[in-house]
Every structure is written in structure tokens, then in C-alpha cells.
């Protein structure tokens, strides 16, 4: 089932528009300037709400990144492109990086050289990071934060589309990251309430919750 679904996504349900879209959303280098701007905006203009968001997000990403790295080594599952011939998309090189969006992509099939590239397949780092962001935005902005799950889902699909992961990799990673991030938010909230009430009571009166206080 896993291999059959992978074959459909990677080699059957494809077209040139999807090729560019899937390759682009999976390339974090393209989006780094936007990410930096959003982080600075939250830190400088977001007041307690924005700073609490960035704090939780930064801590959760670091913890999940270490968990992902450890699990990759422990599970040591091979990527599709490392064990069979799969369809792959390569973006054109450009400076600045976002200009690659306006250039044609290259479609190729994996070969022997791809067997030693990249690390193990499970969990997916891309999916972990974006689900972490989606969960935290959902807690901080209940009205619209959950919409980021649509983007996280697209990232998960792109990893299969690009031959980097099996469908079961991204599905399991999705739930794993959602669970660990939710637990971390609960832990952060507990520590904040204890520490702020003890050492900064006046501040705590103004902001009685780390996460909940940030919800509009």
C-alpha cells in the first residue's frame, strides 16, 4: 500500500505546475527572507503575544529537531530515492534564491549517486518543522492559526512528490510532531505560570498565561 501510493503521487499524479510548486515549497532557502521578516515583526511589534509565540516556537523547533535527528538514526529507514528509481525535481539555480520561481525546473530520475545523499527517511524534518509551526499557531490564534495545517499538509505531500519520503513517513511524522508539540506547549505553560507567579508577580497579573494570554 505504501509503495503503491508513493508510485501514484511521485509518478502518476504529476504535472509541470505541480513540479514547480512542490519543489518551491520544500526549499526553505527561498522563504528565508520572509521568515526573518516575520520573526523580527513578531519580536519588535508583537508585544507579549509575538514574543511568547517566538519563544514557544523556537524552543519547540529545537526539541523536535533533536528528536527527529535521534529517531532518524534509530529507525534508519532508507528514502525512496535511495532504494529505487524515482522521479525527482530540481530547481534552477538563481541569486537571490526566490528568482528560481521564474525559471524552468528539471525533471530527472534518481540513480546510483542518490543512494548516499541525504539522511534516513523517518521522521521527515520538513514535516516536523511545519507541523510544529501549525500546532503553535493554532494555540496562539484559534480563529485562523489552524489554516497553517493546510500548508503543512502540502509540505508533507511535496516530500512524497519529490521522492524524498514514503507516504507512511510523512503521515507518522505529522501525528508525532503534533503530539510532541502539544505536550511541549502544556509544559511551557506550566513552567511559565509557576516561574512568573513566583518571581514576577506584577508581570504575571498582566499576563497570567503564556499561550492563552496570547489568544485574541
Tell me the C-alpha distance between 71 and 121, whole Å: 10
* Residue-wise pLDDT tens digits, 62-114: 999 999 999 999 999 999 999 999 999 999 988 888 889 899 999 999 998 88
Q: Which of 208, 216, 163, 170 has the alpha carbon at shortest distance from 10?
A: 163
Q: Given this model, what pLDDT does residue 213 score?
A: 53
Tell me the pLDDT of the chain averaged across its residues.
Answer: 94
Residues above pLDDT 90, as percent of the chain:
87
Q: Given this model, what pLDDT does residue 143 score?
A: 86
pTM score, two decimals?
0.94
- As averages over each run of 10 residues, the pLDDT of the chain (216 residues) reads 94 96 96 95 94 97 97 96 94 88 93 86 97 96 93 98 97 98 97 95 94 55
Amino acid at each position: 500500500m505504501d509503495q503503491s501510493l508513493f508510485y501514484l503521487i511521485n509518478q502518476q499524479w504529476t504535472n509541470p505546475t505541480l513540479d514547480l510548486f512542490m519543489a518551491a515549497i520544500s526549499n526553505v532557502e527561498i522563504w528565508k527572507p520572509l521568515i526573518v521578516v516575520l520573526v523580527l515583526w513578531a519580536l519588535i511589534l508583537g508585544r507579549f503575544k509575538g514574543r511568547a509565540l517566538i519563544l514557544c516556537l523556537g524552543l519547540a523547533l529545537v526539541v523536535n529537531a533533536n528528536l527527529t535527528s535521534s529517531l532518524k538514526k534509530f529507525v534508519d529507514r532508507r528514502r525512496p530515492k535511495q532504494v529505487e528509481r524515482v522521479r525527482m525535481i530540481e530547481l534552477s539555480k538563481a541569486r537571490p534564491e526566490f528568482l528560481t520561481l521564474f525559471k524552468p525546473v528539471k525533471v530527472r530520475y534518481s540513480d546510483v549517486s542518490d543512494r548516499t545523499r541525504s539522511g534516513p527517511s523517518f521522521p521527515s524534518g520538513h514535516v516536523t518543522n511545519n507541523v510544529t509551526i501549525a500546532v503553535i499557531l493554532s494555540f496562539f490564534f484559534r480563529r485562523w492559526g489552524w489554516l497553517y495545517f493546510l500548508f503543512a499538509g502540502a509540505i508533507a505531500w511535496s516530500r512524497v512528490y519529490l521522492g524524498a519520503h514514503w507516504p507512511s513517513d510523512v503521515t507518522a511524522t505529522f501525528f508525532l510532531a503534533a503530539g510532541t508539540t502539544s505536550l511541549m506547549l502544556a509544559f511551557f505553560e506550566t513552567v511559565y505560570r509557576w516561574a512568573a507567579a513566583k518571581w514576577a508577580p506584577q508581570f504575571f497579573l498582566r499576563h497570567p498565561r503564556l499561550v492563552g494570554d496570547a489568544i485574541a
